[in-house]
Structure 1
Amino acid sequence: HILDFWGDVGTELAIRLFGDESLFLGYENVRFTAPVYAGDFMEYTGWIEKVGNTSLTCKFEAYKYITLPRDPALADSAADVLPEPVLCGEAVGTLVVKKPFQRIDHADPKFQVR
């Protein structure tokens, strides 16, 4: 599911920059660095590393902030806030917005590429 959520992040980045959802071409350098379980509270982030004529190269990260203790002595609703967020995955993705679909005048005027 991490890849699905990164796809959503990439879509938002493309909309903010070009005013269009884009086409996600693919990922490279995908690394899963810690396990993720059902019930974990995750945060997905991304930023644009490079802008081409029609493409965006984005960096994505996934962090775990809260996990379930999986202790049968505790209530099923028990959860543990982690002392520090745990990096669970990172990747680079490429998205494309064809020139005719780029609507710079409808992009987010406050958006800045790193």
Structure 2
Amino acid sequence: MNKNQQLVNLLTHLEAQLQTLSLWQKHAPEPERLLSTQPFCVDTLTFEQWLQFIFIPKISAMLAANSPLPTQISLCPMAEESFKAHGDKIAALINVIADIDELLSGQRQQTLYCQS
């Protein structure tokens, strides 16, 4: 399986995990909230909103256009911090985010719920 197909599979798994954990929203936030210039739109969105409304669509569009994918990416530290209140039930979500980091950047900066 090539890198693009692996990434499609990981994005699908990411969406499924967000839905399973009831972190997937039915309605998009107001359009102006998506225009933040802050990393992860921390001033206007929750991290799960950023994943759903910014990250997944942007990476999906890059894949569809056969554009170069980011090679310096590190979502896992933000995910671990953002989701720490959820406890162990968030382990699969953290692992899929770490898998995306590793696929795109070659690095895995995961400290919680590491797969053996």
TM-score per shorter chain, which class?
Answer: under 0.3
When you count helix as a share of all residues, which structure comes out higher?
2
* Bigger-Rg structure (1/2): 1
How does the TM-score come out when normalised to structure 2? 0.24
How does the TM-score come out when normalised to structure 1? 0.24
Q: Which has the higher contact order (CA 8 A, sep 6+)?
A: 1
